[in-house]
Amino acid sequence: MSFLSRRNKLVMLKFLSLFSVVRGYNILIIIIAQYLASIYILAPDLPAKEVLLDPNLFLIVISSAMVIAGGYIINSFYDSEKDLINRPTKTKLDHLVSQKKKLTLYFVLNLLSVIVASYVSFRAVLFFSIYIFGIWFYSHKLKKIPLLGNITSAILSITPFFVVFIYYGNFQQVIFVHATFLFLILSMREIVKDLENIKGDLALNYRTIPVVWGEQWAKLNITGLLLLTAIPIYLLISYYDVGHMSYYFYLSILLLGVFLFMVWRSRDKLHYLVLHNILKFIIVLGVFSILFIDMDTVINRIF
C-alpha cells in the first residue's frame, strides 16, 4: 500500500509539474477570453449559443491552446538555466518530468494542433504553422534581443485573439482599439518580467532592456507605455459603446496609477513580482469584464 501511495504521489507530482510547465491556468483564461471576445466583441449579432456550439471555433480554440502549451514547454526548455536562478522552487517542480519527455510532448502538441486546424481550413493550418514557428524562433533567438524580444512576446500573446478575429472577419475599429490596449499592457508586463528576472539574465548574458540599458531606462519605457494606454482607454470610454465595461477602464486607470507609483519605488524582485501581478490582475479582470459590454442582454443571448 505504501508503495502504491508513493507511486500515486509521484504521478500526481509529475502531473502538477506538467501543469506548471504549460501554465494550465493561463491557457484556461485564454480559452475563456477567446469565447467571450467572440460572443460580445467579434460576433455580437450572432446568438451566443450559435457561437458556443460553432465546431470550427471550438477547433480553433483547441489548436490555440495546444500551440500555447507547446510554446510554454519550449520556452521553459531554453530558459531552464535562467529559471533555476530566478525561480528555483518552481524549476525543481518542473524538472520532475525529464526534458526529453517535455520535448516529446512539445512536438506532439504542435502536430496535433496542425491536425486539428486542418479540419477548419488550409488557411488555419498555415496560420498555426507560422504561429508555432514564431514561438520557437522567439524562444530560440529573439528573446535575447532587447526591445524586439519584448515586442515579439507581446504580439505572440495576442495572436490567439487575432486568429478568432480573422475567423469572424470583423474589422471594426473598436476591436483594434481593444487590441492596442491589451498590447500595451502586455508590453509593460514583458519589461516588468525582465526587471523581475534580471539576476538570471545577467548571469546567463540575456540582452534584455534592464541588462543592456539599465533599470532606470526600463522604468522609463514602462512609463511611456503606460501613458500611451490613456489613448485607447479614452477612445473606448468616449467614442465606442462598451456598455458597463467602461467601469473596468476607470478601475484600470486607478490601478495603473498605483502601478506607476510603485514602479519608481521598486528596487528588488519582490517589488517587481507585485507589479507583475497587478498587470496580470488587470488582464484577467479585463477578460471577465467583457461580459459587461451588454449586460442587459447577457441572459437573453445565452438562454
pLDDT digits (tens, 9 = 90+) for 125-142: 999 999 999 999 999 888
The CATH number that applies at residue 54 is 1.10.357.140
23, 85: one domain: yes
Average pLDDT over residues 33-59: 90
41 within 8 A of 175, measured Cβ to Cβ: yes
152, 218: one domain: no
> How far, CA to CA in Å, does 247 sit from each of 37, 187, 251, 292?
18, 23, 6, 9
Residue 78, C-alpha cell as written in the block:
531554453
Cβ-Cβ contacts under 8 Å for 180 (sequence gap 6 or more): 231, 232
Cβ-Cβ contacts under 8 Å for 11 (sequence gap 6 or more): none
pLDDT attached to residue 133 = 96
Of 171, 191, 211, the one marking the end of a domain is 171
pLDDT attached to residue 1 = 46
Asked whether residue 247 carries a pLDDT value surpassing 90, the answer given is: yes
Of 123, 156, 171, the one marking the end of a domain is 171
pLDDT attached to residue 296 = 53
**Whether the predicted model's global pTM rises above the 0.85 cut:** yes
Residue 200, C-alpha cell as written in the block:
538570471
Asked whether residue 188 carries a pLDDT value surpassing 70, the answer given is: yes
Average pLDDT over residues 87-93: 71
Bigger pLDDT: 62 or 170?
Answer: 62
The length of the chain in residues reads 303
182 within 8 A of 283, measured Cβ to Cβ: yes
16, 146: one domain: yes
180, 276: one domain: yes
154, 199: one domain: no
Which structural domain range is residue 271 located in? 172-303
192, 85: one domain: no
58, 127: one domain: yes
State whether the Cα torsion 298-36-241-168 is positive or negative.
negative
The CATH number that applies at residue 183 is 1.20.120
Of 150, 171, 192, the one marking the end of a domain is 171
Report the distance separating Cα 38 and Cα 195, nearest Å.
Answer: 34
143, 195: one domain: no
pLDDT attached to residue 165 = 86
pLDDT attached to residue 156 = 93
8, 136: one domain: yes
Domain count for the chain: 2
Terminal Cα distance for the chain, rounded: 49
2, 145: one domain: yes
Asked whether residue 15 carries a pLDDT value surpassing 80, the answer given is: no
Asked whether residue 16 carries a pLDDT value surpassing 50, the answer given is: yes
Report the distance separating Cα 112 and Cα 101, nearest Å.
Answer: 16
Residue 280, C-alpha cell as written in the block:
496580470
Instruction: State the chain's mean pLDDT as an integer.
Output: 88
pLDDT attached to residue 184 = 96
149, 1: one domain: yes
93, 185: one domain: no
